[in-house]
Amino acid sequence: MSSSDRMPIHHKALDKRRVSRRKKSPTEETRKRSKMLTKLTRGASKADLKSEPPARPTTPKYLKDYFDYDKNSSSEESASDEDKTKEPAKTLDMSQKIYLTACIKEGVAPRRRLLKGLTQDGLNVNNCTLAPSDIKALAYALTTNMCVTSLDLSGNEIGREGMEYLVEMLEENMTVTELRLSNARLGLYEVLLLTEMLSENMRITTLQVAGNDLDDECAKCFAEALKYNRKIKKLNLSHNKFNETGGKILAKSIETNDSIEDLDMSWNSIRMLGAIAWGDTLYNNVDLKHLNLSWNGFGDEGAASIGEALEENNTLLTLDLSCNRIGFEGSRAIAKALGNNSSLESLALSQNQVTTQGAVELLTHLQINDKSKLQELLLEGTQVTSEADDLYEEIRGVRSEFKFVHGGHVISPDTLAFKTVKPEEKNCRSSKS
């Protein structure tokens, strides 16, 4: 073989086999394509998973307005144009900053109502189940707060520790004038702290400590504080456990107090000498405007003492003696007072044993008093006769605003009303010990 008939040298250098291609069946071609698609799909899903950013902690909704960033966004630089057009974030008040810092220090969660209330006139966090640590954080915030004037912590178990923080705050705070601590489970220790503070704090004008089961020992604490405090105008001591002794002690302290205008002593157990003492209070106190003595046990003797005082007192505007076991004799003493009184605008004697004749006595003396300003006489639970209706219409003819509420009508008067009064029982003030 000549050199011209040989194959090119580069074919020998490659030394490759020539493989004859065979035709593939349609089934094999489809199977291969499906495998390729599966690989591509799996690869794409893995890539998607890797591209997702890790979850970031979120900002609570009630705090979003107070921060200049949002934890839900990846960064401040990635903010969209829409975010840039939003209003600027609210600036935290100094007391709010102090509160949030104190919450971190005490390990408690910030309360939304409390945080917002720090910038308002009234801070109402009643029935929020606040713990002493919550009250401590609040006390820190209120020490320098200049917005809140009314603080309502009713329905929270204040406790010894909480009251200590609260009293320390009130000694420094310059704006809180209304304090409500009803149903706060206050004991003697808490009352001691509170009343000691009241002896020196001359800014609080409204105090409410109803529903705390306060006893006669607590009454002594309040009486001592009222000797020095001449700023409280509204005092609510209702729904407690003041008995005859406690009622007498408090009555004596109110007798010489010239600041209290609105007093609520309802739903206690003031009886006998304690009830009679309130007559002396009304006789001597010329600053009291509204007095609620309902749901006690004054009886006829207590009502007679009140009646004698009303003949001389011309400053009291409203008096509530509902549900006090007052009978005909007590109502007649009060009726006599209505014939001379020129200031009382509302009198409540509901749920007493006034009797039909007692109602007539009240309306009769009211009718003959040209100087009377009484606009409302409440005798709910007491039935009246047509004679009382006639008197009511005559009074309405002169004073159209007069309102008379009773418990329905009967045909004949109550015979129990005709019991005579012994001469020695007429003057309760002279018979008191």
For residue 433, the model assigns a pLDDT of 38
Is residue 60 scored above 90 in pLDDT? no
Which pLDDT band, with edges at 50, 70 and 90, does 77 fall under?
Answer: very low
Residue tagged 């302290």 (tokens) = 253
Residue at 399: amino acid letter: R
For residue 68, the model assigns a pLDDT of 47
Q: What is the mean pLDDT of residues 364-369?
A: 96
Distance in angstroms (rounded) separating the CA atoms of residues 288 and 282: 8
| C-alpha distance from residue 139 to each of 53, 95, 146, 147 (Å) | 42, 10, 13, 14
For residue 34, the model assigns a pLDDT of 63
Q: What is the mean pLDDT of residues 128-154?
A: 96
Express each pLDDT in 234-266 by its tens digit.
999 999 999 999 999 999 999 999 999 999 999
Can you list the domains of the chain with their CATH numbers?
A: 94-180 (no CATH), 181-431 (3.80.10.10)
Contact between residue 332 and residue 304 where contact means Cβ atoms under 8 Å apart = no
Which pLDDT band, with edges at 50, 70 and 90, does 375 fall under?
Answer: very high
Is residue 116 scored above 90 in pLDDT? yes
Is residue 74 scored above 50 in pLDDT? no
Q: What is the mean pLDDT of residues 348-353?
A: 97
- For the ranges 137-146, 291-300, 414-423, the lowest mean pLDDT is seen at 414-423
Instruction: Return the higher-pLDDT residue of 198 and 81.
Output: 198
Where does residue 126 fall: left (phi above 0), alpha (psi -120 to 50 degrees), or beta otherwise?
Answer: beta
Which pLDDT band, with edges at 50, 70 and 90, does 5 fall under?
Answer: low
Instruction: Return the higher-pLDDT residue of 330 and 432.
Output: 330
Distance in angstroms (rounded) separating the CA atoms of residues 357 and 418: 8
Express each pLDDT in 16-59 by its tens digit.
555 445 555 555 555 656 666 666 556 555 555 455 555 555 55
Is residue 78 scored above 60 in pLDDT? no
Sign, CA dihedral 105-106-109-114, equals: negative
Distance in angstroms (rounded) separating the CA atoms of residues 319 and 345: 9
Is residue 156 scored above 90 in pLDDT? yes
Contact between residue 339 and residue 363 where contact means Cβ atoms under 8 Å apart = no
Residue 292's DSSP bridge partners are 264, 320
Distance in angstroms (rounded) separating the CA atoms of residues 140 and 1: 112
For residue 76, the model assigns a pLDDT of 45
Distance in angstroms (rounded) separating the CA atoms of residues 325 and 269: 12
Longest dimension (CA), the chain: 169
Is residue 75 scored above 90 in pLDDT? no
| C-alpha distance from residue 56 to each of 52, 71, 75, 83, 150 (Å) | 12, 7, 11, 19, 40
Mean pLDDT of the chain: 85
For residue 201, the model assigns a pLDDT of 93
Q: Which of 182, 179, 178 is nearest to 157 (CA)?
A: 182
Distance in angstroms (rounded) separating the CA atoms of residues 387 and 6: 151
**Proportion of the chain above pLDDT 70, given as a percent:** 75
Is residue 416 scored above 80 in pLDDT? no
Q: What is the mean pLDDT of residues 401-421?
A: 80
Is residue 10 scored above 80 in pLDDT? no
Residue tagged 């495998």 (tokens) = 35
Is residue 2 scored above 90 in pLDDT? no
